[in-house]
Structure 1
Amino acid sequence: MEQNGLKREMGLASALATVMGTVIGGGVFFKVASVTTKAGSANLTLFVWLLGGILTICAGLTVAELATAIPQTGGAIKYIEYTYGKPWAFLLGWVQMLIYFPANVAALSIIFSTQLINLFQLAPSLLIPLAILCGTSITLINFLGARVGGAVQVVTLVFKLIPIALIVIFGLLAPAPVHFSLLPLAAAPHQGFWTALGSGLLATMFAYDGWLNVGSIAGELKRPQRDLPLAIVLGLALITLIYVVINFVFLRTLPLTDLQGNLNAAADAAQQIFGMLGGKLVTIGILISVYGAINGFTLTGMRVPFALAYEDQLPLSKYFQRLTPRTKVPYVAGLFELFVAIIMMLLGSFDLLTDMLVFVIWIFSTMIFVAVFILRRREPEMVRPYKVPGYPVVPLIAFAGGVFILLETLFTQLGLALVGLGLTAIGLPLYYGHKWLKNRTP
């Protein structure tokens, strides 16, 4: 398989940092509100975080086989194209530009605004205006050039880890105001166990989101056969540990009822652990972390419609290809992504947006798991520098998890799932209609 000129300069440490930096975002601080509500008990909350990590590790290990066999720029889009053809690859790009990246920006901007209002005791009516201001400011920063956007990402990466480390270390050392038993696993009295387990697991998936992009570094690793699976297993295992431990701290610091549905739970827990001033300082660290996460999705997201337009796969491609004169940033694509994100801010809540983006992206994730089986059968001679360990068990676990997430969303949030499927399906007539018009143009 062609390497596309990629330099193999990354070692295990760089790969590990990439894995953890890609996955850890705002969800670690804010999904506790949804997970505790869905799971209904403290011990089931911790269990679904652990289960979500195991599923994510299996998913990452499975996708890594395609990443090393097809180490092309574009990552998941290229795996889909190679296995299923260009229309399906376009659909993934379409979903990323219309739902995945704008929904991430919108959801995290709402969270940023929520924390800002809580920190400075501002009027709740400022929630949406502040969220729009947040998303717009990051888009404008990225218009200054990829170097500026990248610098923001580097600085905020440090702040992403500081509040996590402080909450975990001091939270474990502090006396526990709340006590609960780890066993036996049980949901709330009014909930069925399996319903609570499924809904709770689905709620964790936004915090683990980002693993699908991990394989994109395969072409730059010195020893992909050894370092890629090690980076995925170690990185995602450490992330799982961090998520389980920080949620353990939340659960032993605040009563379950204070966590359920509370998007300020992380700030409230920090205030309980560090006092008023310390809690506010940690909250500022969380705000910087969320701002950096939004920057990452903005930086990457505006380049998806640009890439599709560069291959003339979109109507009005000539406009989406336009770059700023000096900094060479795809500003029309960036403004489009911001426009969609603002519409989502006006229409959706944090949990609604994150559940939708998880649902649509897992459609394609599940297709990629199946692609491993298809290509093993269709092209047994394909050079695979790395093969998923435990084949076929590990890919089957990933596939079963993907199917479960999709079915769980269909059964519990049918309206949301239908909207996601509808927006995805719009891409097909768009793709074929544009192709037909191109062929008719002399």
Structure 2
Amino acid sequence: MKNKGKLIREIGFWTAIAVVISNMIGTGIFTITGFMAADVPDPIWIIGLWVLGGFIALMGALTVAELGAMLPFAGGDYIYIHNGYGPFWAYLTGWMSFFVGFSAPIAASAIAFMEYISFFTPSLSPLQFYNIDIGIISLKVSWGHFFAVLVIFLFAGFHYAGLKASKLVQNSITSLKILFILIVIGASFLWGNGNWQHFNKNFIDNPTSISLTKAGVSLIFVMFAYSGWNAASYIAGEIKNPGKNIPRSLIIGTLVVMLLYLLLNMVYFYALPINEMKGVLRIGSESMNALFGSSVSSFTTVIFAVSILACLSAMVFIGPRVYYAMAEDNLFFKKFKEVHPVFKTPSKAILLQAGWSSVLLISGTFDQLLTYASFILMGFSAMTVSTVYILRKKLPNAERPYKTFGYPISPVIFIIMSIWMMTYTVIERPFESLFGILTILAGIPFYIIFTKRNIKHIMLFYLKKLLTPFVR
């Protein structure tokens, strides 16, 4: 590994945990419960699934906490897979991070932000399209699209301008986000026009038995809402006292989000009977309207907009560290390993991600890419967690400031659940899963170019590695 860290360690615990919380709390918690209510018409079951999802995410956080403390370099999953499985698989996880994993959610978040802003300025709605023809290419864009691109580059500028700017922006917007959520929770239970009887099964019209299959589908959606629990690991090369602050930020950040998700779901059920929640997209907005009337719509919109901005900012912040790490290992263009001489940030990698996210946004392909690649991204998360077993054997004497609580059971729980979700996704969405596989295969030619190897050498290298245990 060449990633020894040209970046400087200026990030403390509070910024690290702010990145985790911001990256986890996006739009999912404000939308998913309504869809769940259609398939799992029982408040206790739904709350239980949110708790279970949080528990699974916590198992991942407990494991990555050990990896991050042991290998405190920029890059997150890329670093751990590189050490555990080698450069080929590390490159592919980095490829997916750039092509889809960070760039597509950034584009989606920017568009979602403009949708909420259009509540105040309808002319900026991304749904008011204009057709633009560029040769054989036809695009549907709006003023909302262009302003969404400006939002992406605005936050790219903040994070380009040094860690002081990054810390100020991320800590401020995360604090505002948490404050707004706590105000919503407190005001709902103290002054909201809700009913605790909504939690009672007897209050449900035409109760039905719970399908475990549908509950499983709902759990997959819940897990997407918990994604981001490993966010601090991507900026590990810039975190002060990483052996202590990386585990603390990952574990405490995940626990905080679990608690907030639990309380928000209780607010939803306090506000609405489950029969009125079924299939509701904006369950957060509908709940606030039920508790306080339509007069709070403006405040609710601001809450969602701030939440999305904080999530977008975190992804713009941490994603470029992956491409920086790849370039450090000569698995990406060398210019992207350059650190700004004044700001000490991976400046060119930041601009690259902002540019690619904008391309996905304008072209309108980010939604499809996210759908196609979802199960591949789950696979890389499971692979990352599994490296804890490999590195325990491969590097038994390495310094481990933190060791996984519940090892070896904790990682197994996360891996098994990830494999189950991947399997179910392939069965239910074979077409999208196939395109996900094609997306990752598209990265292999670039790996060959960067490593100056051919397919024969790659196959021989991994075949030798596979057969080594049998020829000793």
Q: What is the CA distance between 1:310 and its match in structure 2?
A: 6.2
Counterpart of 1:404? 420
- Alignment counterpart, residue 355 of structure 2, candidates 300, 318, 335: 335
Paired AA for residue 428 in structure 2 = T
Cα deviation, residue 157, structure 1 = 1.9
Distance 1:3 1:249, change over 3 A: same
Counterparts of 1:162-181 in structure 2, within 5 Å, are 162-173=179-190, 174-177=192-195, 179-181=197-199
- In structure 2, stretches of 5+ residues that fail to align are 130-140, 455-472
- CA separation in 1, counterparts of 2:341 and 2:395? 45
CA 1:168 to 1:294, structure 2 compared with 1: closer, same or farther past 3 Å? same
Q: Name the TM-score, length of structure 2 as normaliser.
A: 0.78
Give 1:217 shift: 6.0
Contact 1:254–1:269 (CA<8 Å) still a contact in 2? yes
**C-alpha distance in 2, partners of 1:390/1:28?**
28
* 1:253 matches 2:253: no
Contact 1:25-1:293 at 8 Å conserved across structures: yes
SS at match of 1:419: helix
Q: Is the 8 A contact 2:78 2:94 kept in 1?
A: yes
The answer to whether the 8 Å contact 1:76/1:213 transfers is no
Structure-1 separation of matches of 2:331 and 2:119: 44
387-396 or 170-179: which moved more? 170-179
User: Would the alpha carbon gap of residues 97 and 285 (structure 1) be closer, same or farther in structure 2, given more than 3 Å must change?
Assistant: same
Q: Give the 3-state SS of the residue equivalent to 1:211 in structure 2.
A: coil
Q: In structure 1, what is the Cα distance between the partners aligned to 2:104 and 2:83?
A: 27
1:353/1:120 CA distance change after superposition, 3 Å: farther
Instruction: Identify which range, 202-211 or 169-178, moves more after superposition.
Output: 169-178
What is the match of residue 429 of structure 2? 413
Deviation string 1:257-309 (CA, Å, 9 cap, x unpaired) is 54444333212222333333333123123213212322332344456446545
CA root-mean-square deviation? 3.8
Q: By how many angstroms is 1:437 displaced?
A: 8.0
Q: Which has the higher mean CA deviation after the structures are superposed, 86-95 or 138-147? A: 138-147
Q: 1:103 aligns to what?
A: 104
SS in 1 for 2:452: helix
What are the equivalent positions in structure 2 for 1:213-228 lying under 5 Å apart?
Answer: 213-216=231-234, 220=239, 222=241, 224=243, 228=246
Q: Which of residues 338, 359, 362 in structure 1 aligns to 2:378?
A: 362
- Letter of the aligned partner of 2:150 in structure 1? S
- Equivalent residue runs for 1:279-358 within 5 Å: 279-302=297-320, 304-305=322-323, 308=326, 312-314=330-332, 317=333, 329-330=347-348, 331-343=351-363, 345-346=364-365, 348=367, 356=372, 358=374
* CA 1:156–1:372: 2 relative to 1, 3 Å: same
User: What is the rounded CA distance, in whole Å, between the counterparts of 1:120 and 1:274 in structure 2?
Assistant: 23
Write the distance in 1 (CA, Å) between the matches of 2:99 and 2:241: 35
- Determine the structure 2 residue equivalent to 1:262: 280
The 3 A distance-change label for structure 1 pair 68 and 397 is same
- 1:436 deviates by 3.2
**Alpha-carbon shift at residue 199 of structure 1 (Å):** 0.8
Counterpart residue type for residue 442 of structure 2: I
Alignment of 1:50 onto 2:51: yes
Q: What residue in structure 2 maps to residue 84 of structure 1?
A: 85
Structure 2 letter corresponding to 1:340 = L
2:376 is the counterpart of 1:372: no
3-state SS of 2:161 partner: helix
Tell me the CA shift for residue 189 of structure 1: 7.0
Q: Is the CA contact 2:126–2:143 (under 8 Å) kept in the aligned structure 1?
A: no
Does the Cα contact within 8 Å between 2:34 and 2:283 map onto a contact in 1? yes
> For residues 6 and 321 of structure 2, what CA distance do their matches in structure 1 show?
20
Q: CA deviation at 1:175?
A: 3.4
Moved more, 400-409 or 305-314: 305-314
2:161 to 130, 133, 147: 147
Write the distance in 2 (CA, Å) between the matches of 1:243 and 1:415: 32
Structure 1 distance, partners of 2:127, 2:74, is 43
Partner of 1:133: 146
CA contact (8 A) 2:38 2:279 kept: yes
Q: Which runs of 5+ in 1 are unaligned?
A: none
TM-score, with normalisation over the residues of structure 1? 0.82
- CA pair 38-94 structure 1, distance change in 2 beyond 3 A: farther
1:199 aligns with 2:217: yes
Closer/same/farther in 2, CA of residues 374 and 318 from structure 1, 3 Å limit: closer
Q: Aligned in 2, Cα 1:19/1:290: closer, same or farther, shift over 3 Å?
A: closer
Q: 2:290 aligns with which of 246, 267, 272?
A: 272
Which residue in the other structure is 2:31 paired with? 30
Q: Distance in 2 between matches of 1:346 and 1:216?
A: 25
CA distance in 1, matches of 2:328, 2:298: 45
Distance 1:26 1:354, change over 3 A: farther
Does the 8 A contact of 2:50 with 2:222 survive in 1?
yes
Assess, with a 3 A threshold, how the Cα gap between structure 1 residues 155 and 313 changes in structure 2: closer, same or farther. same
Shift of residue 77, structure 1, vs aligned partner: 0.8
Identity value in percent = 25
Counterpart amino acid of residue 110 in structure 2: S
1:436 matches 2:452:
yes
Structure 1 equivalent of residue 467 of structure 2: none
